[in-house]
């Protein structure tokens, strides 16, 4: 109980730092989850070979979540709550639409661009990857995030929003990590190979 109280106090006292660090940690966990799932269940090599964690990838996800996307998400929800205060359905639906129509396309593009850059890819290769993976991923994000954000905006106080989004993003970013590491294939091709 003391740990929860400590976390809550830090979220209120240093909200952007605490939320961003938590967001980055959850991004790291999602890449580790993706690597583990891919190793044991997708490739089928789990029984034959020990998992070799790609720590550079985990670090890239952590840096992207902590220093880029975490602060952006935190500041975005602060602004969004200021522009569209309240929890009535007539406010929540437009709030989710604005969130998915403005923040989601930007953070998704930043996700692919930042990770591609951290991987040492050329600008041309980053653009190619975004062209291959962006649209399908963005459309899937509507199915995943719209219900999650309705809960977020309805149930949670503002200082917990980024942590909630980061926690839900553990699932989402595990999916993104699968998409990200499906090199040279479109999302639909990658799904067909694993099925």
The pLDDT tens digits for 92-113 are 999 999 999 999 999 999 999 9
Name every residue whose Cβ is closer than 8 Å to that of residue 56 and which is 6 or more positions away in sequence. Answer: none
Tokens linked to 37? 């799932």
Of 35, 20, 24, the C-alpha closest to 177 is 35
Q: Which domain covers residue 171, as residue numbers? A: 2-194
Which pLDDT band, with edges at 50, 70 and 90, does 56 fall under? very high
For residues 47 and 151, give the distance between their C-alpha atoms in angstroms, rounded to a whole number.
Answer: 40
Whether pTM > 0.85 for this model: the answer is no
What total number of domains does the chain contain? Answer: 1
Give the mean model confidence (pLDDT) for residues 71-86. 93
Give the mean model confidence (pLDDT) for residues 182-192. 50
Q: Measured between alpha carbons, how far is residue 14 from residues 1, 17, 18, 27, 75 in Å? A: 20, 6, 6, 20, 13
For residues 99 and 138, give the distance between their C-alpha atoms in angstroms, rounded to a whole number.
Answer: 13
The share of the chain scoring above pLDDT 90, in percent, equals: 59
């Amino acid at each position: 109980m003391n740990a929860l109280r400590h976390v809550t106090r830090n979220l209120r006292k240093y909200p952007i730092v605490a939320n961003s660090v938590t967001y980055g940690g959850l991004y790291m966990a999602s890449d580790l989850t993706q690597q583990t799932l891919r190793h044991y269940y997708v490739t089928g090599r789990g029984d034959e070979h020990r998992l070799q964690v790609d720590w550079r990838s985990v670090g890239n996800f952590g840096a992207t979540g902590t220093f880029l996307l975490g602060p952006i998400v935190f500041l975005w929800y602060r602004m969004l709550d200021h522009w569209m205060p309240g929890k009535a359905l007539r406010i929540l639906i437009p709030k989710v639409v604005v969130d998915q129509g403005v923040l989601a396309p930007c953070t998704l593009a930043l996700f692919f661009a930042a990770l591609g850059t951290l991987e040492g890819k050329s600008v041309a290769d980053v653009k190619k990857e975004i062209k291959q993976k962006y649209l399908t991923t963005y459309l899937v994000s509507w199915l995943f995030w719209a219900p999650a954000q309705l809960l977020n905006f309805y149930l949670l106080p503002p200082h917990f929003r980024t942590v909630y989004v980061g926690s839900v993003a553990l699932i989402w970013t595990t999916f993104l990590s699968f998409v990200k590491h499906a090199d040279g294939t479109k999302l639909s091709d990658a799904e067909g190979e694993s099925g």
